[in-house]
């Protein structure tokens, strides 16, 4: 849907603030779904007329034959824009001992926490009125912090997908969905980054990435609250309502000085410090394969070593690891892999290993090819 601002100085639309928001379909070739969303937003907004966090619905109308709704104008900027501006202008963070992105300063933490608390209260008011939003994003929240003498004002917009709560089981699931969306929004507020792989996508970053980004920026007590409502890293929802979430945030706000004093040397979680080029938990297998390779060149029958195991167990990793260890020795290390789709062909893994060997020989020049051919013919003749 498309929304534009219209001045209403002569009170043509019945505005109380002097301006209105006129919302209509994005294009002239609108469909029934777009019209239904507009009508739904108007109906829900009328139902929430006593909720301060929602714009007043003024009227349903048509503009040059296009259906539209008129809402009270909400001054401010989208939360998405607020996040972008805030993180580009925020104070220098606390420097920690580790070479990690640093914990936010106490003032910045307080600003974000208070805004998150206000947003939680706004959603709680909507839920208490029997409505769930179903499409909470940073673009559907308007933030007005222009008046420095009062607290930040928050308006929840984009109610086209909102619905009324029905039976209790459905109600809990719908509220949980809104709370999870709040978790994603709060993650973005505290870190300045999307919790998804890219803007507009729905695929989350890995749990380790999310935990790491959070614990780089916020104390663990705040990180745990967000991880619970996002249900990340084994944490489960412990909040049954936005009101409970708001109460937890308020508890952090009132004890922020103490919480911040103990987090300056906090080590971010979710990122393992693993030594490069080291294979863990496969020492015996690696040693066994190395012992086989040590026997190369010793008189005796030719041998082929087979490594068995289920798909995904790390057989190829062991082979590559041993190959790296033997690079400095005077041997050719060749290997081939059996693939299920190649089982109809004769000896595919052996063929692959020999093809790899031929590739080694050819890459070393014509003289090496001649020497290798001579050595092979000598062995055959013997």
Q: Where exactly are the structural domains of the chain?
A: 2-72, 77-261, 283-381
Average pLDDT over residues 358-380: 87
Q: What is the mean pLDDT of residues 197-204?
A: 73
Pick the CATH number of 2-72 from 3.30.200.20, 3.50.30.30, 3.40.50.720, 3.40.1000.10: 3.30.200.20
Average pLDDT over residues 159-179: 87
Q: Is 381 exposed, middle or buried (0-12, 13-18, 19+ CB in 10 A)?
A: exposed
| 218 closest CA partner among 199, 194, 192 | 192
Of 233, 229, 228, nearest to 205 by C-alpha is 233
The 10s digit of each residue's pLDDT in 31-77 is 888 899 999 999 999 999 999 999 999 999 888 888 999 999 999 99
Using alpha carbons, list the distances in angstroms from residue 321 to 160, 177, 296: 56, 45, 18
Percent of the chain at pLDDT above 90? Answer: 37
Name the average pLDDT for the chain.
82
Average pLDDT over residues 14-22: 78
Residues 356 and 138: their CA atoms lie apart, in Å, by: 54
Q: Tell me the pTM.
A: 0.67
pLDDT computed for residue 280 by the predictor: 59
- CA gap 74, 56 in Å, rounded: 9
The Cα-based distances of 110 to 179, 243, 257 in angstroms read 21, 19, 10
Residue 76 has a pLDDT of 93
**Which pLDDT band holds residue 279 (cuts at 50, 70, 90)?**
low
Question: Superfamily assignment of 77-261 in CATH?
Answer: Transferase(Phosphotransferase) domain 1 (1.10.510.10)
Least confident of 104-108, 194-198, 217-221: 194-198
H or E element, residue 59 = strand 57-63
pLDDT, one tens digit per residue, over 301-322 is: 677 788 877 766 777 888 888 8
């Amino acid at each position: 849907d498309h929304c534009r601002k219209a001045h209403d100085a002569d009170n043509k639309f019945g505005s109380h603030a002097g301006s209105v928001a006129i919302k209509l379909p994005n294009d002239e070739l609108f469909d029934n779904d777009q019209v239904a969303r507009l009508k739904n937003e108007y109906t829900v907004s009328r139902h929430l007329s006593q909720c301060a966090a929602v714009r007043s619905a003024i009227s349903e109308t048509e503009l040059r034959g296009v259906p539209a709704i008129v809402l009270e104008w909400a001054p401010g900027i989208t939360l998405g824009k607020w996040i972008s501006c805030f993180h580009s202008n925020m104070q220098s963070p606390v420097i920690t001992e580790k070479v990690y992105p640093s914990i936010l300063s106490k003032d910045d933490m307080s600003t974000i926490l208070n805004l998150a608390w206000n947003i939680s209260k706004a959603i709680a008011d909507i839920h208490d009125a029997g409505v769930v939003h179903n499409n909470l994003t940073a673009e559907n929240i308007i933030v007005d912090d222009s008046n420095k003498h009062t607290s930040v004002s928050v308006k929840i917009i984009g109610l086209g997908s909102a619905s009324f709560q029905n039976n209790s089981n459905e109600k809990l699931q719908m509220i949980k969905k809104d709370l999870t969306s709040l978790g994603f929004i709060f993650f973005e507020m505290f870190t300045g980054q999307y919790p998804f792989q890219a803007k507009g996508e729905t695929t989350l970053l890995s749990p380790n990435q999310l935990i790491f980004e959070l614990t780089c920026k916020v104390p663990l007590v705040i990180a745990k609250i967000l991880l619970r409502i996002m249900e990340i890293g084994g944490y489960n929802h412990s909040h049954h309502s936005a009101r409970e979430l708001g109460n937890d945030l308020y508890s952090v706000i009132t004890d922020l000085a103490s919480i911040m004093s103990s987090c300056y040397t906090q080590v971010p979680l979710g990122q393992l410090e693993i030594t490069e080029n080291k294979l863990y938990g496969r020492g015996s297998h690696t040693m066994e394969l190395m012992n086989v390779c040590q026997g190369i060149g010793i008189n005796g029958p030719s041998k082929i070593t087979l490594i068995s195991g289920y798909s995904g167990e790390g057989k190829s990793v062991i082979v590559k690891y041993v190959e790296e260890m033997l690079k400095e020795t005077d041997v050719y290390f060749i290997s081939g892999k059996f693939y299920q789709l190649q089982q109809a062909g004769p000896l595919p893994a052996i063929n692959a290993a020999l093809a790899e060997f031929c590739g080694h020989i050819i890459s070393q020049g014509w003289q090496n090819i001649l020497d290798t051919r001579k050595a092979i013919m000598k062995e055959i003749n013997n």
